[in-house]
A and B are shown apart, each in its own frame.
Chain A
């Protein structure tokens, strides 16, 4: 049984047994539940005079959370992707490979796209991340948000795939004679960015593991 189900069941049982809302609140507080979780559990039952607890209609997931976390992780993904793309273009520019032709104007235009994407999405990610960190500090129960946990794991999944793909590309390049300085630098860039995301969100995922 999921912790949120246990909490809902406990609240219903306690209300049915005639305990006051204040008693239930203090019992839950002593057990380590966060204030917003307790309020949510109690608000799930209408405060009216009836022999058994009466449920209130409730949304399944918080649309507001889905918006914030969705935007934050999308901004993170765009930042990571375009940072890698921009660094790859820089490597192409600085480290010449005599066997490969210069991308010319095409490379410039893709560099400009990446710069534009970073100017938009990096501040977006940093602002949303800051808000999330502050909100979590004020209210530790937010760490157990299902939406946040899921999107966090999706990001972790993408980072893992990127790392594995990177490893595969390096091995393929080694086997087919492409292992130039240029390629090694590019692989290091991908590994660095994916590894940073991985390290950052593994902590987050561990924090939320209790609520699995």
Chain B
């Protein structure tokens, strides 16, 4: 009799505690949506990075600004889809540049997200060097 009521209560309590703890880590639907927006930003930055590298390859110079160039892509994702703010592109040196976005959950982004870049979490930037 006691086992019949106690065991389900314990299972229920353990599961609810685990779910609540899990949600504090994953952060619920709104945080997940923010994560999804970050993924879209990362995808855009990857496209812009390969565009900049392509321009450097073709013209032997890094582009001064992110303006469409024939042969390297003309349909560039220049603005953040969620906030409509433009992505930042800075030329750091003759061979280095960086691309920045306002990431909402920078703690989840690792250096491996964009190939060949170094991640600067405080600025929300990926720094690249020309190959």
Give the B-binding residues of A (Cβ under 8 A): 79, 83, 86-87, 89-90, 93, 102, 104-105, 108, 111-112, 114-115, 118-119, 122, 125-126, 129-130, 133, 196, 200, 203
Contacts and interface: CB of A to CB of B under 8 A. Distances in A.
A196 B8 CA distance: 11
B11 A79 contact: yes
A114 B25 CA distance: 13
B108 A126 contact: no
State the main secondary structure of chain B at its contact with A: helix
B18 A87 contact: yes
A105 B108 contact: yes
Interface string B11-52: 110110011011101100000100100000000000000000
A128 to B, nearest CB: 11
A130 B85 CA distance: 55
Nearest to B27: A108
Nearest to A87: B18
12 contacts: A83-B14, A90-B22, A104-B110, A105-B35, A115-B22, A115-B23, A115-B26, A122-B12, A126-B8, A130-B8, A196-B10, A200-B7
B119 to A, nearest CB: 12
Contacts of A111: 22, 25-26
Q: Which 5 A-B pairs have the closest CB atoms?
A: A122-B15, A115-B22, A86-B18, A133-B4, A111-B22
Contact of A108 (B3, B7, B18, B25): B25
Contacts of A126: 8, 11-12
Contacts of B21: 90
Given A112-B26, A115-B23, 11 more contacts: A79-B15, A83-B14, A86-B22, A89-B25, A104-B110, A111-B25, A112-B32, A114-B22, A122-B11, A125-B11, A196-B7
